[in-house]
Amino acid sequence: MIRKKVLCSSLILFALLLSKLYSTPHNNTSGSDKIVAAKLVEIPTHHGGDEEKKEKSNSFESYLSSLTFAEDSLPMDRPLVESKLRKFFSRFSFKKTGSYDMHKKAETYLPMIAKILKSHGIPEDFKYIPLVESGLSKAVVSSKGAGGYWQFMPATARLYGLRVNGTVDDRKDLVKSTHAAARYLKYLYAQFGNWTLVAAAYNVGDGSLKGSIRRQKKDDYFALKLNNETGSYVYKLVSMKEIIEHPQKHGYSRYADKDTEALDREPNML
């Protein structure tokens, strides 16, 4: 009798073990099953980077189309105009110049220069000429003898009321030379009637520019074929203007974070 009970219990226990064995899920998925399972899982593709780049590109294109010089729009529909602007934006950018000193001097002296120019009826954008010509340094002298903040030749400086001799050089006086420059710019406007051409004439001389206009039968700065320096001059002025007024657009993101004490340690060329 005992043997029958033991046998019966053993059969019941064996049945329970088999039932548990077949009801438990198996986790030992083979390598090929894992690959198939992985393929079934869709990983979402993020295009945020491309969209962000496209948005920035469109924003910069819109910015370029808004640029002006002396309140005149630039012909951004001409590929050469855009490529030249991009060239000088890059050349004057912080990565190339690191010019915190340039910003400091611009903040200090450009308001005074703009005020003098305004008193003569000269557009404010011409205040950037001393930055392009001399870096707002009175010590710069060109190989041809042009000197001072506005890089006047001695004869032109004297013609517009500055003293230039062995003992005195008013080209190094920012106030006096700015008044003289304003008078000269006003004279050039009377000759050309267009402020962009005035800027070009300031660089190359009124006689030379008149000759180019006469020979080429064009009076559009952006269409004229001029020497490299004069052909780049307005682009340099516009680029300097934008980099000073909108530094964050041209690599100067750290400029606002640089403390005043650190700026004061920058070398002053004045």
- Condensed to tens digits (0 to 9), the pLDDT of residues 219-260 reads 999 999 999 999 999 999 999 999 888 887 776 655 444 433
DSSP 43: P
User: Is residue 144 a part of any domain in this protein?
Assistant: yes
Domain assignment present for residue 69? The answer is: no
The answer to the question of residue 176 being in a domain is yes
Q: Give kind and range of the element (H or E) at residue 69.
A: strand 68-69
Separation between Cα atoms, residue 22 and residue 55, nearest integer Å: 59
Domain presence at residue 14 = no
The mean pLDDT value of the chain amounts to 80
Give residue for tokens 């083979």: 30
**Which CATH number does the domain housing residue 234 bear?**
1.10.530.10
Highest mean pLDDT (candidates 16-20, 26-30, 84-88, 126-130): 126-130
- Residue 99 tokens read as 């010019």
Determine the structural domain holding residue 171 and report its residue range.
110-258
Give the angle subtended at the CA of 34 by the CAs of 32 and 38, to the nearest 5°.
120
Q: What is the pTM of this model?
A: 0.73
Instruction: Report the C-alpha gap between 267 and 270 in whole angstroms.
Output: 9
Q: State the Cα–Cα distance between residues 185 and 175, nearest whole angstrom.
A: 15
Start-to-end C-alpha separation, the chain: 120
Contact 226, 212 (CB under 8 A): yes
Domain count, the chain: 1
| Predicted local confidence at residue 47, as pLDDT | 54
pLDDT digits (tens, 9 = 90+) for 141-184: 999 999 999 999 999 999 999 999 999 999 999 999 999 999 99
Has residue 163 been placed in a domain? yes
- CA–CA separation, 56 vs 37, rounded Å? 39
- Render pLDDT for 94-124 as a digit per residue (tens, 0 to 9): 655 556 778 888 999 999 999 999 999 999 9
For the ranges 6-10, 88-92, 145-149, which has the lowest average pLDDT?
6-10
What sign does the CA torsion over 262, 246, 111, 179 have? positive
Q: Is residue 234 part of a domain?
A: yes
CB-based contact 233:65 (threshold 8 Å) = no
Note whether residue 186 is domain-resident.
Answer: yes
Kindly state whether residue 149 falls inside one of the protein's structural domains.
yes
